């Protein structure tokens, strides 16, 4: 796949994730390539084998397996829509049953001890629950002081109100209503006084990454929702849509 995507290897050095079987990633994919996103996040945060990591909204556990394999971290693979038994099979097949633990959780009712995690990561999922004003106060309870909250997912280059969003991408409002800009997220977190934001950036070429992966998955699965997403990405041409990335440390 690396040969077909010069913009990937050139800009992002996605050498770890490119080594995985793309068919395996497609089979477990729930959106933009979770391994690419996990690798992009890993490049701006600290991960060591002594850390306990929560992968919040892990979907089919691709990123949990990737982070545990690449950085030797134990990962709690927590999700609402995918049953843990489904993820256990994938984790078992990857040989990571002693280091990746699948769980059914609602991000708003977590079953963990306070300050249990050294890092909480969330890949293409945090915008489902983290836009709530009170959520950072809630999730930060489960992170030890000095631990990290690291998030990557779809966002907007600039904030647009709902009417401008409707104009820019008619018909897509329900999908993108929870997308926000890097600056929105920075303020959303900083105003709480609970964390120091170390990284808040826009992933370069992210709409190309997203569009490429969407097309790649559609060609292999023919899923109609992918065709619809591809239409949205192509009509936008990276004007508004891409990936935002944030890493903060709990005070």
Ligand X SMILES: C[S@@+](CC[C@H](N)C(=O)[O-])C[C@H]1O[C@@H](n2cnc3c(N)ncnc32)[C@H](O)[C@@H]1O
- Owner of token pair 């997220």: 185
Nearer to ligand X, 94 or 107 (CB): 107
- Pair 54, 111: CB distance under 8 Å: no
Q: What tokens does 5 get?
A: 């995507």
Residue of the chain from 8, 14, 17, 31 that contacts ligand X (CB under 6 A): 31
Contact between 92 and ligand X by CB under 6 A: the answer reads no
Contact between 26 and ligand X by CB under 6 A: the answer reads no
CB of 48 to ligand X, least distance (A): 22
Q: Which of the ranges 123-131, 203-211, 213-221, 233-241 carries the binding residues for ligand X, by CB under 6 A?
A: 123-131
Contact between 120 and ligand X by CB under 6 A: the answer reads no
Q: Which of the ranges 17-25, 102-110, 186-194, 229-237 carries the binding residues for ligand X, by CB under 6 A?
A: 102-110
- Pair 37, 243: CB distance under 8 Å: yes
Using left for φ > 0, alpha for ψ between -120 and 50, and beta otherwise, residue 188 falls in alpha
Nearer to ligand X, 161 or 216 (CB): 216
Residue of the chain from 1, 18, 44, 80 that contacts ligand X (CB under 6 A): 80
- Pair 150, 200: CB distance under 8 Å: no
- Pair 70, 97: CB distance under 8 Å: no
Contact between 62 and ligand X by CB under 6 A: the answer reads yes
Contact between 57 and ligand X by CB under 6 A: the answer reads yes
Using CA atoms, how far apart are residues 100 and 214, in angstroms rounded to an integer?
Answer: 27
Residue of the chain from 36, 71, 129, 212 that contacts ligand X (CB under 6 A): 129
Contact between 58 and ligand X by CB under 6 A: the answer reads yes
Helix axes 206-221, 224-236, angle to 10 degrees: 150
Using CA atoms, how far apart are residues 13 and 39, in angstroms rounded to an integer?
Answer: 9
Contact between 217 and ligand X by CB under 6 A: the answer reads no
Residue 216 makes CB contacts below 8 A (sequence gap 6+) with: 1, 22, 26
Contact between 213 and ligand X by CB under 6 A: the answer reads no
Using CA atoms, how far apart are residues 104 and 80, in angstroms rounded to an integer?
Answer: 6
Using CA atoms, how far apart are residues 48 and 188, in angstroms rounded to an integer?
Answer: 28
Contact between 101 and ligand X by CB under 6 A: the answer reads no
Contact between 183 and ligand X by CB under 6 A: the answer reads no
CB of 92 to ligand X, least distance (A): 19
- Pair 248, 195: CB distance under 8 Å: yes
Contact between 155 and ligand X by CB under 6 A: the answer reads no
Contact between 34 and ligand X by CB under 6 A: the answer reads yes
Nearer to ligand X, 38 or 160 (CB): 38
Helices within 128-202 (DSSP H only): 135-140, 162-168, 173-176, 182-190
Residues that bind ligand X (CB under 6 A): 30-31, 34, 57-59, 62-63, 79-82, 105-108, 123-125, 128-129
């Amino acid at each position: 796949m690396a040969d077909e995507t010069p913009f990937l290897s050139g800009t992002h050095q996605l050498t770890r994730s490119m080594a995985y079987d793309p068919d395996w990633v497609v089979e477990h994919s729930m959106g933009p390539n979770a391994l690419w996103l996990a690798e992009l996040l890993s490049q701006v945060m600290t991960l060591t084998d002594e850390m306990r990591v929560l992968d919040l909204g892990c979907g089919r556990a691709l990123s949990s397996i990737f982070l545990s394999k690449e950085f030797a971290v134990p990962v709690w693979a927590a999700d609402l829509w995918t049953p843990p038994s489904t993820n256990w099979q994938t984790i078992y097949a990857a040989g990571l049953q002693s280091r990746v633990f699948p769980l059914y959780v609602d991000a708003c009712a977590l079953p963990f001890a306070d300050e249990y995690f050294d890092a909480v990561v969330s890949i293409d999922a945090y915008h489902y629950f983290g836009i709530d004003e009170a959520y950072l106060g809630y999730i930060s309870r489960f992170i030890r002081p000095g631990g990290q909250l690291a998030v990557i997912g779809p966002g907007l280059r600039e904030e647009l109100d709902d009417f401008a969003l409707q104009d820019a991408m008619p018909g897509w409002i329900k999908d993108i209503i929870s997308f926000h800009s890097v600056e929105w997220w920075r303020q959303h977190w900083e105003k709480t006084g609970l964390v120091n934001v170390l990284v808040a950036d826009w992933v370069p070429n992210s709409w190309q990454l997203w569009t490429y992966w969407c097309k790649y998955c559609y060609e292999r699965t023919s899923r109609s929702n992918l065709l619809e997403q591809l239409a949205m990405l192509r009509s936008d041409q990276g004007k508004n849509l891409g990936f935002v990335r944030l890493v903060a440390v709990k005070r």
